[in-house]
């Protein structure tokens, strides 16, 4: 349904155009439709829509010579193998190495306490672009951007530090309206649940993860006012994103209380949620990437963030000399978030539900539905 609906996405990530250029370009970045393979005009994405630009964007950077760009990336807590947020960023980095010929280096900073030194190491090594993956990098990467003014920086899930009104001239912050995508998977859960009890498992309790929960609950209540949401978090420190044992414990407790679907926004901790779903023969909803293959028996859908496309595109902008600073926010209108509906999960979600949720997506894009984020 690419073009007809702003929400549904397939698991394909073979984007071939600029993600940061705006909704029209990002729509083409999704290579296939969830329901149809033919691109159609999208009422929610009209021709002539202004291109998305970073707020407070600065001057463009000069291009790099072909094959000379060095790119450094520091992963979030949990590192590679989370089948979610970090792995999405790595897909973008790997694609840039293959398609753009850049040299790439990455660092997995363990529990996250050494993230500043990891970022500094890559900047000191002469990388043209250093990317931090995760909101916990925001303060550190902002300070380092000032310390290394000739290096470009990018941060996924960036929060402008308190007291600042604009990002440094060499930093691009990428943010997503996760609450919008979470609203859609909440509506799916609200229609599919049989027990009318639905769970949410978050990683670190922060305003960012609260956006996932708030949007999810709003989506549930929009279609099922008498449904109940059970919510729990794995902790208050970054390690809460890398604790599958805790994730399983929380999920088992929610399933025992009657939940038949659980949405997680918890990084590698979500592996425990999927283990619990398999054990209890219940359903779960993935996050950030299409997580169907983690538990094919049990993954109802996933709320996807196009982190891979965003990472590739910011690298391409450095190579092309079109990098600009600022803060860019991406939601349903820009095709930055959505839900998965394809051959893998279509048997789990009735077509009528997909049609309804795609309609809700359009209402969000048009402003008819305002999704809460806190």
- What pLDDT shows up at residue 163? 87
Q: Which of 76, 331, 74 is nearest to 203 (CA)?
A: 76
The low-confidence residues of the chain, meaning pLDDT below 70, are 1-6, 9-67, 111-113
Tell me what pLDDT residue 16 has.
Answer: 30
d(C-alpha 337, C-alpha 355), whole Å: 17
CATH classification of 70-177+307-330, choosing from 3.40.50.300, 3.30.470.10, 3.40.50.2300, 1.10.1660.10? Answer: 3.40.50.2300
User: Cβ distance 145 to 130 under 8 Å?
Assistant: no
In this prediction, residue 62 carries a pLDDT of 63
Distance, C-alpha 176 to centroid of its chain: 7
Query: Where in the chain are the domains?
Result: 70-177+307-330, 178-305+337-366
What is the pLDDT, as a whole number, of residue 66?
A: 56
Measured distance CA(29)–CA(161) in Å, rounded: 31
How high is the pLDDT of residue 115? 87
**pLDDT on residue 33:** 32
pLDDT reported for residue 77: 85
Q: Which of 307, 359, 351 is nearest to 330 (CA)?
A: 307
Q: What is the pLDDT of residue 20?
A: 42
Q: Collapsing DSSP states into helix, strand and coil, what is residue 359?
A: helix
Q: Quick check: pTM over 0.85?
A: no
Residue pointed to by tokens 């990084």: 267
Whole-number pLDDT of residue 50? 34
What CATH code is assigned to 178-305+337-366?
3.40.50.2300
Q: In this predicted structure, what is the pLDDT of residue 7?
A: 73
Q: What are the contacts of 93-98 at 24+ separation with CB within 8 A?
A: 93/131, 93/311, 93/312, 93/315, 95/308, 95/312, 96/71, 96/311, 96/312, 96/315, 96/316, 97/71
- Number of CB atoms found within 10 A of residue 191's CB: 19
Element (H, E) at 203: strand 197-204
**Partners of residue 104 on adjacent β-strands:** 71
Establish whether domains 70-177+307-330 and 178-305+337-366 are of one fold. Answer: yes
Beta strands 337-340 and 299-305: pairing type? antiparallel
């Amino acid at each position: 349904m690419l073009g007809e609906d702003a929400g549904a996405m397939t698991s394909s990530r073979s984007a071939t155009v600029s993600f940061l250029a705006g909704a029209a370009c990002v729509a083409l970045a999704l290579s296939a439709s969830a329901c149809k393979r033919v691109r159609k005009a999208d009422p929610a994405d009209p021709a002539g829509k202004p291109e998305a630009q970073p707020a407070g964007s600065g001057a463009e950077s000069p291009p790099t010579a072909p094959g000379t760009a060095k790119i450094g990336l520091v992963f979030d807590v949990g590192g590679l193998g989370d089948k979610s947020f970090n792995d999405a960023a790595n897909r973008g980095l790997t694609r840039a190495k293959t398609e753009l010929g850049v040299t790439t280096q990455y660092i997995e900073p363990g529990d996250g306490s050494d993230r500043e030194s990891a970022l500094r190491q890559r900047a000191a090594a002469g990388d043209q672009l250093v990317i931090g993956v995760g909101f916990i990098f925001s303060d550190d990467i902002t300070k380092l951007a000032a310390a290394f003014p000739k290096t470009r920086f990018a941060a996924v899930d960036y929060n402008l530090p308190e007291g600042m009104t604009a990002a440094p001239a060499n930093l691009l912050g990428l943010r997503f309206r996760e609450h919008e995508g979470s609203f859609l998977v909440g509506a799916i859960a609200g229609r599919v649940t049989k027990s009318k009890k639905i769970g949410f498992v978050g990683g670190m309790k922060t305003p960012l993860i609260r956006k996932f929960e708030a949007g999810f609950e709003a989506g549930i209540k929009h279609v099922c006012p008498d449904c109940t949401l059970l919510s729990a978090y794995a902790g208050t420190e970054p390690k809460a994103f890398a604790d599958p044992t805790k994730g399983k414990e929380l999920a088992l407790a929610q399933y025992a209380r009657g939940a038949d679907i659980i949405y997680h926004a918890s990084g590698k901790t979500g592996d425990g949620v999927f283990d619990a779903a398999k054990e209890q023969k219940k359903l779960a909803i993935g996050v950030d990437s299409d997580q169907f293959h983690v538990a094919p028996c049990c993954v109802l859908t996933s709320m996807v963030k196009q982190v891979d496309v965003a990472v590739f595109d910011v690298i391409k902008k450095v190579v092309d000399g079109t990098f600009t600073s600022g803060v860019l926010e991406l939601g349903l209108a820009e095709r930055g978030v959505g839900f998965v509906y394809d051959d893998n999960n279509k048997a789990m979600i009735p077509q009528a539900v997909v049609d309804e949720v795609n309609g809700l997506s359009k209402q969000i894009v048009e402003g008819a539905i305002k999704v809460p984020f806190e």
